[in-house]
Amino acid sequence: MKKLIFLIFSISTVLYANAQEVDSLLIKANDFYTKAQYQDAINTYNNILGLGYESPEVYYNIGNAYYKEKGIALAILNYEKAVQLAPTDEDILYNLELTNRLVVDKIEVLPVFFITGWIRNLKSILTSDLWAIISLTSFILTLVFISLFLYSRSVGLKKLSLVFTFFIIIISTISLIFSYQQKQAILNGNTAIVTSLSVTVKSSPDISGTDLFVVHEGTKVWIEDKISDWNEIKLSDGSIGWLKAENIEVI
């Protein structure tokens, strides 16, 4: 018992010290930013990330600092990371859209079936964690309504609880799927930003491959496959080719 108490105390102490350090670095980084010392602000914000602390605010501030430093690709990269954690934040979305206007490549987006687009938009409304909470809450409600159905003596209440059970099961299942898909997208890192000023996309994963097209910094790509230090990438217009991993940064 004493060992358990000591372990809990030790963990609490470490977490408290870590939180204190994060708060101190945040104040320092924000101070650098207000003084227009943007590179110092970037370094300090990255130190915060190095401590294992992630938040949409930190990525948003790094994106703003890179934007001030004319680092378009890295600004977009950090705005995209912020969007993953806060998909409905208007400030982040606005700055991301504003910065994307500076990207040289103006790539058309392939049209999608309206139901597919609607599902994508619905899924992006909330984060993976929030969808998981909705799924768990719905599951608990399902158990409540099942209990009502089993133990209620009222026929009307039984029918009503059965309808609600069916409806809430659907919500729980959809929420769980959305949560899983969003979490996998983050963990798998299948989207990236081109960080080189300009780079030629090849037809195969080698230098001697045929030149297909050129992409510029800030362009968002989807990673389809990986071979050694090459990535097969896909653009929003459906174009596919190979780039060296050093030319992109995974979101």
The structural architecture, per CATH, of the domain 2-100 is Alpha Horseshoe (1.25)
DSSP 203: S
Three-state DSSP at 71 gives coil
pLDDT at residue 147 tops 50: yes
Residue 6 has pLDDT above 50, yes or no: no
- Mean pLDDT computed over 228-247: 95
Give the SS3 label for residue 133.
helix
Q: Is the pLDDT of residue 3 over 70?
A: no
pLDDT score of 24 more than 50: yes
CA distance 168 to 155: 20
Position 157 scores a pLDDT of 87
The pLDDT tens digits of the residues spanning 168-185 come to 999 999 999 999 988 887
- In this prediction, residues 56-77 reach a mean pLDDT of 97
Q: Are 61 and 29 in contact (CB under 8 A)?
A: yes
Whether the per-residue pLDDT at 249 is higher than 60: the answer is yes
* Residue 240 CA: distances (Å) to CA of 160, 214, 228: 52, 12, 18
pLDDT at 218: 96
Query: Per mean pLDDT, which range of 82-96, 148-162, 217-231 is the poorest?
Result: 148-162
| CATH code of the domain occupying 191-250 | 2.30.30.40
User: Average pLDDT, stretch 141-170?
Assistant: 90
Q: Give residue 123's pLDDT.
A: 87
* Helix ranges, the chain (H): 2-34, 38-50, 56-68, 72-85, 90-100, 114-123, 128-151, 155-188
Which of 4-13, 19-28, 94-103, 116-125 has maximum average pLDDT? Answer: 94-103
For residue 218, which of 56, 44, 79 has the smallest C-alpha distance?
79
Q: Where are the domains of the chain?
A: 2-100, 114-188, 191-250
| pLDDT in the model for residue 18 | 65
Mean pLDDT taken over the chain: 89
